[in-house]
Amino acid sequence: MISSSVSITAFVVHSIAQTAVDKEREFGDLDAVVGDGDFGFSLARGFEIVLQEWDALDRSTPSVFLQKVALVIAGRIGGTSGPIWGTAFLRAAAAVKDKEQLTGADVVAMLRAAIEGIKMRGKADLGDKTLLDALVPATDALEAELIAGTDAQRALERAAVVARASADATTSMQARRGRASYTGERSIGSPDPGAVAVAVILERLAAEWSLS
């Protein structure tokens, strides 16, 4: 079982990266419905580099590790995804600066910081049909479970369930940010690719956590 905070952080990031690479076509097909179709490709290429440089990434603290990942992502993911995902990782890193051991509260703080970074960088909020519409509810659910004393496995599973339901709910929304927003009402009827990505990432993470 993974134990140290750096090891756990690396485990989570590796799961995210592998999911992005493995689901490139699925995410791209979703984005092609009303967007430019490059979401899956861009995300996969960035996290592909993260995996290629995996052994060289500094793991002195969780924050330093996340900073290094953020720099790779921001520099290698094209389009709007690079700045948004890079900012998310940078904000998460800043939230736990100088900490060697992380608590459940720290994890929630990292996610909250990432959310605020995404809002700022993407000029988006809940209801705009973006990844926030899955990430925020999932974070709320994770926090509630951890406060209630639920173990990490079940807390992750609950967050994944909420993320999936929330991603599905974006189907009826009209996009207000990104290229999909240019299509107006045509954006109604398909889920947001970023929100779906959050759900898929959490589902895989929950599944892999049980095996770690």
User: Which residue ranges form the domains of the chain, and what is each CATH number?
Assistant: 5-209 (1.25.40.340)
The pTM assigned to this predicted structure is 0.93
What pLDDT, on a 0 to 100 scale, did the predictor assign at position 179? 62
Report H helices in the chain.
5-22, 24-32, 39-52, 62-76, 81-95, 104-122, 132-147, 152-169, 193-209
Inter-axis angle of helices 24-32 and 193-209, nearest 10: 160
Q: Which residue numbers in the chain have pLDDT < 50? A: 1-2
Between CA 205 and CA 11 the distance in angstroms is 9
Q: Using H for helix, E for strand and C for coil, what is the string for 114-146?
A: HHHHHHHHHCCCCCCCCCHHHHHHHHHHHHHHH
What pLDDT, on a 0 to 100 scale, did the predictor assign at position 7? 94
What pLDDT, on a 0 to 100 scale, did the predictor assign at position 81? 81
What pLDDT, on a 0 to 100 scale, did the predictor assign at position 184? 63
What pLDDT, on a 0 to 100 scale, did the predictor assign at position 1? 42
Whether 118 contacts 84, CB under 8 Å = yes
